[in-house]
Amino acid sequence: MNFLPDPVLDHLRNVIGLPDFSQTRYRLEREIGRGGMGVVFAAHDETLHRRVAIKVVAKGVLQEARIIASLEHPGIVPVHDAGELPGGQFFYAMKLVDGVRLDQHLERESSLANRLRLFQRVCDTVAFAHSRGVVHRDLKPQNIMVGAYGEVLILDWGVARAVSTAGGNEEPDGTVVGTKHYMAPEQASGRTAEIGPASDIYSLGVILRGLLNPPAPRPLLAIAAKASAVDPSQRYQEALALGREIGLFLDREPVSAYRESSFERAQRFAARNPTLLILITAYVVVRFFLFFLRFL
């Protein structure tokens, strides 16, 4: 067998963009994703004999790995390992999830109830991160994965920051990170001192609106509008509260974001109590029939 000299291998890696993993226990298989913060590869762990996902990032950028490692939750992919490569790049290995992005999943999921249940699980995961003082800052369907067995995971914590519940971080004013369509106004204008959990809730409101096919139920539109209000103080103050509102809608209960009419209240009551409504209708019909029998 002929081996290529190290200088030739280094040149080939540079040409095709593959990092040097020769001194690690991982064997790269293929690239599966690329973004502004790094490149993700599918790989094989030669020691534990399992497939993993490996993200390679620029030198000195291990913030994402540290944040993910601090967030142990079913909705967040666990980190298995991290290290530095000979070329000065850093990497971290994590669970390889078999699934599709939320936006792709929605193309084949027509049930509104199922879509909303997925969204509730996203809210639960975001609420957990907020409880640990972490704001994602780039929530969007492309960063949410639905696994083959129904798992819902939030990915790409590359621009996440640890902040206080009152907002604020170490970045200077004017710093803008995230995806334009999903960014809260304070985030899009670079007002970093104002960025906090409410900024993620704004993104959740935009995501919720994208889950709804027209004509969307008015209570859901009202929930999405409240979550994505321009003024952070007018949004839901916790991701759990947003998830609970979705739960109330699914249970055919009134939601705080929408003031329903008497007719809508009656419709909701009928939808929640179909058996009772049938019994009442039957009773009225029988009474009406008996009333007329008296005159025959």
Classified as helix, coil or strand, 225 is helix
Contact 36, 158 (CB under 8 A): yes
**What one-character-per-residue DSSP string does 155-175 give?**
---TT-EE--TT---SSPTT-
Question: Which residue in the list 45, 81, 138, 231 is annotated as catalytic?
Answer: 138
98 among known catalytic residues? no
Dihedral sign of CA atoms 144, 147, 151, 155 in order: negative
Encoded tokens for 11: 């040149």
User: Measured at the alpha carbon of residue 12, what is the angle toward residues 87 and 35, in degrees to the nearest 5?
Assistant: 60
Decide: 58 and 90 in contact? Cβ < 8 Å: yes
Give which of 195, 247, 199 is closest to 223, Cα–Cα. Answer: 247
| Burial letters 278-288, b for 16+ CB under 10 A, else e | eeeeeeeeeee
Q: Looking at residue 234, what DSSP letter applies? A: G
Question: Which stretch of DSSP H or E encloses residue 42?
Answer: strand 38-45
| Tokens 């142990």, residue located | 72
Backbone angles phi, psi at 233, to 5 degrees: -70, -15
Q: Which of 127, 114, 222 is nearest to 165 (CA)?
A: 127
Torsion, CA 160, CA 163, CA 167, CA 173, rounded to 10: -60
Cite the active site residues.
Answer: 138
